[in-house]
Amino acid sequence: MIGIDRALLKSEPLAKGWNELLRRVRADFCLPLMHRELIMLRVAVLNSADFEWNVHYPAYLAAGGTHAQSEALKGVRVDSRLFGAAECALIRLTDQSTRHVNVDADVIPEPKSYFGERQTVAAVATVAAYNMVSRFLVALAI
């Protein structure tokens, strides 16, 4: 059993709800998996959640991301030359939501133009869910 599971099992309702929510984010959201994993990696970097990075890095590569792109996600400023415009829009959304909670009004229309409203909502929910994960991990030193 990994560290996060040991912590979650201190509360059965937490463990059940947590696992169901994150299973749905990982498996059921309409946003393509590579984009969800990109968001998860960026959140892990911004919140210094090494465990989260280590779990999602192989998944990002398996979903089509590259080592160079994942390394770029570690920067304070991400090198946009390694990403398409749609991915850059997701990175801007992730950065603002993670760093400031509030997202500027001019940020949301950009991912909507690439992904539509439904996938943009999935992107925002992915950012929020993985901020929850990383903050839990960091607070408990997992």
In the predicted structure, residue 1 carries a pLDDT above the cut 80: no
In the predicted structure, residue 86 carries a pLDDT above the cut 80: yes
3-class SS letters over the chain: CCHHHHHHCCCHHHHHHHHHHHHHHHHCCCCCHHHHHHHHHHHHHHCCCHHHHHHHHHHHHHCCCCHHHHHHCCCCCCCHHHCCHHHHHHHHHHHHHHHHCCCCCCCCHHHHHHHHHHHHHHHHHHHHHHHHHHHHHHHCCC
In the predicted structure, residue 115 carries a pLDDT above the cut 80: yes
Mean pLDDT of the chain: 96
- Domains and their CATH numbers in the chain: 11-139 (1.20.1290.10)
pLDDT at site 49: 97
Percent of residues, the chain, with pLDDT higher than 70 = 99
